[in-house]
Structure 1
């Protein structure tokens, strides 16, 4: 079925359902960034494969809305005769609906939207209605079946706290708030609370399912029973009851007259609709697992350090290999990414990539979340910029690193060095920040942008995101971003530090390490302060750095960082890689 035929078939089905339009988010019923093939509705309909976006179909027009990471990609992947491409910040979907959807009835699938998202789309003159079944699913005839990978125990040696203790603490928080139960629709919270992992997604070790945590610490786990083998049932214990998803409505009906907590931002609107009809009292509050999950315990912190150390060995081997091969001009974006994956597969406790590697040469690096395909794969030429953003899932931690590399053998242009060095200065500014307890990510975002702002430059994405512990590489609720929620940073959180710069049609620059929030000891401090420990260990490409633009303090930081990389990683990589690493980490 062609893209035009798919859109026509959907419009015909909407007419049968009695609505004139439909909203298609890039989400499944768990509202996460990564979805299984059966949840890729937006990609199937529009061709756009980015990890964030939404489409709206009206009788005579249709639009796809994306953020700054995907403005180039969405235009490359969609048919302009069928789809308008809109920047979600510059032209919000609500404004587009207000302009083009007057007097229309627009349907949505309440399983695929949190209630606040529907509220943001609600504008005068446009009637939004939940539909009992998703009309797109009716026309997607070859839709893949939902994943059925088994849920497996996550050992205490990596989790750091027993599931029974986590359930008891979360239940105590419910009782203190007067809530009888909380809906856990985010499978990351289910995985963390019960110390289980799975294989339902390609890059995030989740067993997809829902849970009800009750104030007495028992849990109803709604997951296909075939996904929970005897070993996992024994691990869960008697206070966790596995029930098929079809039991959800009955379980919610049993909460009539009770206070039930929903995290409005992470829970499908379907739950609030059903609980209201069931006669429960809905209280809005944060998922009680979210903040404890973000603040890694001592075992998880040490696991993150160990995982990054082993990942650094793979990165050193890759960077050495790339330095030898790239000037020859025979590498491609796919072959380079495949080689990095091969090095990581040799590392102990490796399970998967934490996301599909962003392997972009030249102009492809300017596409912030570029994903190379056999159709777009191109040769990595000598004397150009190559950007590789990648990560891994290890049993004891999740990694995410970006390096921007000059392919050589010639000298990089002065203007390019200027841009890279400004990005590096911003990276250093954030990595070395000390800040009082209570400061949040949005308060620190500008530190990484200042060197670019000084030259009238910027980048159209957040500076960093939270990272899980053998969970999602993108974890809330914290982020370095002007658009992020004001959530104070706390000890044990892990975030990325990834400022960048992008010259459309030419190159992209991004330099990313992961940071662990730690206590800071400052002699004049009269209240608690925090700082960052850099977890990632890999050299920055000295061929792209202009030392004259660095202050003495910045130069000292970079030289100290490189000395640490050499001291810790060098002894693990063998003679040839070690000799290369000495040169790559030489002091400026």
Structure 2
């Protein structure tokens, strides 16, 4: 995203005052090595030894607009998480286990060392390779706690007033400018005025005058608005300042809101151009201002301090209320999953009949499912790029098919399809692993797929005491795989929004996640997997809703999960003998529910297929 036209010279090193006038290169035929060389030239011109290049925008979100895809422009890597470090003679790119294979396919090994984000953290790499060097960074793309980890690596961090990649990126896309969209109360469940009043009371009780909201999902939830600024997530990229009076300043081009949306926002919400944001921060001097240190760019925190504001570091006050869906949002999620389930079953029936012929490709299969979802008038788009991986591509955890990588789906192999939809009343995410037939699946494959299914069932059927957090439950879904000496290199599940991001904090089933206790109304994914590199991938995913559990005689409150996703698991990949009686009971009950709730939404031939797919084991 383009930076604003306001003065940011406080960030500019004294010896860097002239480097921004370097002319941009012609975008035509600029190769990967030329892009890396162009960045190094700019860094050397201002006495900087290297630079941190995250995949991030000024809102620190997972999905970023095309204008903020700096990491992809520089390296060629298009995954949703990662970062690069560029030094004068070396450069490294860091990704997690989801992208181990993808990064090797998309980056040049002559230019980029590939490193694992958790096994060899970037700070440790800097400590070993850049001690004592001056390393530049864009302060709008990092939160202060993230920078502290780099500062501890024995380097000197140098904030840059303008990102030097932006001066080299000649054909950089324009920043987004789609209209704001009102999110009706019939889907949101609560009036925005009620939410603003509740937030104002929270601030007043904490002795805080205002909160700066850098996460556009918080503005979306608080004001009941949505947008179209980034792919797959209905966000309008904006900063907000909410005050203890209940008033909110939303920093976005006012022309992006029509009369209906302005009326929806009301008089207490003032639309202000983005270019006024820094001046608004200056106006908070002397006031007590709350910011979430992990969700706020360092540029904002340091600007507030320079203005004389007293910072209160605390979690974004919209984050937890947004994660705990109200009754209306829960009902919307159920309704969205019913319609999504019908689309998925129509696809599965078609795929089962078509795949053995060998005429399908990854792209044609993904397009067929998208076409089924698009029949729903409430469908607003995919919730992420569909992961359609046949054979060895299924072992690439976050594989993204392209015309260049598109692979035919062969008979008698594994096809992994991870996809989701954005609907006006909810967000979906489902993964099914399918055997293409016509022959039977090999015994080892069935055993591995059944262990993944057992892990899925173990988590979905769990009843646990209130206060337990996601990291405490991650191992439960891994136990059947661990018993066989197997594991998977990603978290077991993530939070999901209500017609918002398919990846929503603050909860997750992951060893790396913060131990945030699960609460009623939270929606998470349950998606254990197994990946045989070069052969196939297995992942089975449903979304689950945290609810109050009925436990007579319990000495404390308990919680359990309601499964939202409704689509059958592929029987060709299930080995019934490996399931315990309780697991068989759960699976038969789940399939009976799928048939009862999705069946009435189907035509007769598809219903006949579903009846067979959901028959008891």
Q: TM-score, normalised by structure 1?
A: 0.99
User: Which residue in 1 is equivalent to 2:419?
Assistant: 390
User: Which residue in 1 is equivalent to 2:482?
Assistant: 453
State the alpha-carbon separation in 2 of the partners of residues 171 and 502 from structure 1.
48
Does the CA contact (< 8 Å) of 1:329 and 1:380 recur in 2? Answer: yes
User: Which residue in 2 is equivalent to 1:437?
Assistant: 466
Shift in Å, 1:201:
1.5
Alignment pair present for 1:421 and 2:450: yes
User: Which residue in 1 is equivalent to 2:143?
Assistant: 114
User: Which residue in 2 is equivalent to 1:463?
Assistant: 492
Task: Pick one of 512, 520, 533 that aligns with 1:504.
Answer: 533
User: Which residue in 1 is equivalent to 2:594?
Assistant: 565
User: Which residue in 1 is equivalent to 2:18?
Assistant: none
- Pairs within 5 Å for 1:505-544: 505-544=534-573
**Secondary structure of the corresponding residue to residue 447 of structure 2:** helix
User: Which residue in 2 is equivalent to 1:39?
Assistant: 68
**Secondary structure of the corresponding residue to residue 305 of structure 2:** helix
Does the CA contact (< 8 Å) of 1:204 and 1:471 recur in 2? Answer: yes
Does the CA contact (< 8 Å) of 1:384 and 1:406 recur in 2? Answer: yes
Pick which of 13-22 and 170-179 moved more.
13-22
User: Which residue in 2 is equivalent to 1:403?
Assistant: 432
Does the CA contact (< 8 Å) of 1:431 and 1:515 recur in 2? Answer: yes
State the alpha-carbon separation in 2 of the partners of residues 79 and 556 from structure 1.
50
**Secondary structure of the corresponding residue to residue 282 of structure 1:** strand
**Secondary structure of the corresponding residue to residue 70 of structure 1:** helix
Alignment pair present for 1:477 and 2:506: yes
- Pairs within 5 Å for 1:1-40: 1-40=30-69
- Pairs within 5 Å for 1:174-253: 174-253=203-282
Shift in Å, 1:245:
1.0
Does the CA contact (< 8 Å) of 1:97 and 1:123 recur in 2? Answer: no
User: Which residue in 1 is equivalent to 2:441?
Assistant: 412
User: Which residue in 2 is equivalent to 1:326?
Assistant: 355
User: Which residue in 2 is equivalent to 1:104?
Assistant: 133
User: Which residue in 2 is equivalent to 1:139?
Assistant: 168
User: Which residue in 2 is equivalent to 1:72?
Assistant: 101
Alignment pair present for 1:296 and 2:347: no
State the alpha-carbon separation in 2 of the partners of residues 543 and 571 from structure 1.
25
- Pairs within 5 Å for 1:485-504: 485-504=514-533
- Pairs within 5 Å for 1:332-347: 332-347=361-376
Shift in Å, 1:124:
4.6
Structure 1 segments, 4+ long, off by >6 Å, are none
State the alpha-carbon separation in 1 of the partners of residues 607 and 484 from structure 2.
37
- Pairs within 5 Å for 1:247-286: 247-286=276-315
Does the CA contact (< 8 Å) of 1:494 and 1:515 recur in 2? Answer: yes
CA deviation string 1:529-584 (max 9, x = no partner): 00000000000000000000000000000000000101111121111111110111
Shift in Å, 1:347:
1.5
CA deviation string 1:343-398 (max 9, x = no partner): 00002310100001000000000000000000000100000000000000000000
State the alpha-carbon separation in 1 of the partners of residues 388 and 258 from structure 2.
38
State the alpha-carbon separation in 2 of the partners of residues 435 and 171 from structure 1.
34
Does the CA contact (< 8 Å) of 2:124 and 2:153 recur in 1? Answer: no
Does the CA contact (< 8 Å) of 2:126 and 2:153 recur in 1? Answer: no
User: Which residue in 1 is equivalent to 2:113?
Assistant: 84
User: CA, structure 1 residues 134+254, in 2 after alignment: closer, same or farther (shift >3 Å)?
Assistant: same
State the alpha-carbon separation in 2 of the partners of residues 123 and 483 from structure 1.
20
State the alpha-carbon separation in 2 of the partners of residues 438 and 130 from structure 1.
40
CA deviation string 1:473-529 (max 9, x = no partner): 000000000110010000000000000000000000000000000100011212110
State the alpha-carbon separation in 1 of the partners of residues 363 and 444 from structure 2.
28
**Secondary structure of the corresponding residue to residue 566 of structure 2:** coil
State the alpha-carbon separation in 2 of the partners of residues 214 and 393 from structure 1.
31
Q: How many residues in Structure 1 have an aligned counterpart in Structure 2?
A: 588
Does the CA contact (< 8 Å) of 1:211 and 1:221 recur in 2? Answer: yes
Shift in Å, 1:258:
1.1
Alignment pair present for 1:161 and 2:184: no
**Secondary structure of the corresponding residue to residue 431 of structure 2:** strand
Alignment pair present for 1:94 and 2:123: yes
Does the CA contact (< 8 Å) of 1:310 and 1:348 recur in 2? Answer: no
Pick which of 335-344 and 101-110 moved more.
101-110
**Secondary structure of the corresponding residue to residue 359 of structure 1:** strand
Shift in Å, 1:17:
2.6
**Secondary structure of the corresponding residue to residue 538 of structure 1:** coil
**Which consecutive unaligned segments of at least 5 residues does structure 2 have?**
1-29
**Which consecutive unaligned segments of at least 5 residues does structure 1 have?**
none
State the alpha-carbon separation in 2 of the partners of residues 121 and 345 from structure 1.
45
State the alpha-carbon separation in 1 of the partners of residues 602 and 379 from structure 2.
17
CA deviation string 1:131-165 (max 9, x = no partner): 11100101001000001000011000000000000
User: Which residue in 1 is equivalent to 2:21?
Assistant: none
State the alpha-carbon separation in 1 of the partners of residues 153 and 544 from structure 2.
44
Shift in Å, 1:459:
0.3
